[in-house]
Chain A
Amino acid sequence: MRVTDRLIFERANFTTARARAEMDEAGRQAAGSSKIEHPGQDPAGAAAIVAGRAQLDRFASIARTSSRAFDELGQADAALGEVGAILARAQQLAIQGANAATSPTGRASSAVEIEAMILGVASALNLRVGNRYIFGGDQDHAPPFAMDGSYLGDTGVRNLEVAPGVLLDTSLRTEEVIKGAGGGVDVFALLRTLADALAADDVPGIQGVLDGLVVAIDQVASGRTQAGGLMNVLQSATDAAKAGEDAAKLEISRHADPDPVEAATRLALAQHALDAALTIASQSFRLTLLDKLR
């Protein structure tokens, strides 16, 4: 093939430009930039990154809401623990009051303590976590219990996505745990009855509350068990969501992040290629008849 001067210069131009472009790209990747900056570089990889980022956000959001619900249930459990302790004390006072040896004055004194307990239970259940009164059902913007124990909340139960597409009821049903709906006892009504019976020195009335207190204590304990079970599920959901986040990050990284060893090798090769291209170019420019004729 006949080699002309333009061919020599054009080829030198082309090879050095190509080597420089390769070195620029290798340098960019070695510096940790993404492998894909334009979907044309890897269409399937680009789509996978977009889907991966969406998964990442979804799992992060599930982990966040599950973790928050876990905290709320933890606080609900503590509040129910307080209510349980109050009921146990109320049971003690009821047993004492039902005893014929107890004086009317002692019963009156216990009645005063039970009145305070009613306020204590209402305070414990008017628990606010963040923005929500968590025992209020969907009426979570205001304290769900009046000080006399009347319930101002509703039967709403919070539903959360605990895994993609999987929904779970994540709040306790106050009307069952405290108000005794579905066959239980109304804790406040029971305490009110007890307080009134104690104040009235009504021993049969006090004795009539004793069975109810056992049921109430079991009912609240059952609520705590339910809270514990939900917390376990939410902990698992949070862990699974975090694992999902990690998997999504890994998937994104697999498509987006250059392999450091590969990137460094590519950079070294590109440097050699550029060096060779420049050397060849300078050599081919040097050897002409023009220089020899001088």
Chain B
Amino acid sequence: MRSAPLNYLISVAFGGLLWLGTGYWVANYLKFNVSLGVGTTVDYFVGVYRIVLAMAAVIGLLACFFWFYYGSQEGTASNLEGAKRVWTISFFVQLALSIVAVATIFAIFENAIFTAAQYAVFFAVMSAHTYLFYWLCTLVLSPRTVKYIPWGMR
């Protein structure tokens, strides 16, 4: 599970399932519950939401791929302090990206009125595809050399 190509394939499958869940079920919830501004159709909102979601998912997946590749390099084993830095930076970059993704949706639909719960849902969904996805995948699927680097492994 921690070696290539299995860890790559499992993370793709997990990312795909996550995208289906958030891009279909959560999108349906939002479709019937958000109050959009005048002139904005629900289909347009869902389309934009899915595109932003897909971009976040691709970034999360790429971050995982990079970590899997980096973690399996010969040089990484003898520089675990460097690996810790790489993982942490990647995590926070994705945390920032999730915020940017939520902000992008708000910016595009600036006339819409979202409830606090909907704000939370947007952030939760974007988090799930970025830093949370990255954390979970690297926690379970990291190459052996770096498997104790992600938070929560010890």
Q: Does A associate with B in a complex?
A: no
Residues on B lying within 8 angstroms of A by beta carbon are: none
Name A residues whose Cβ lies closer than 8 Å to a Cβ of B: none
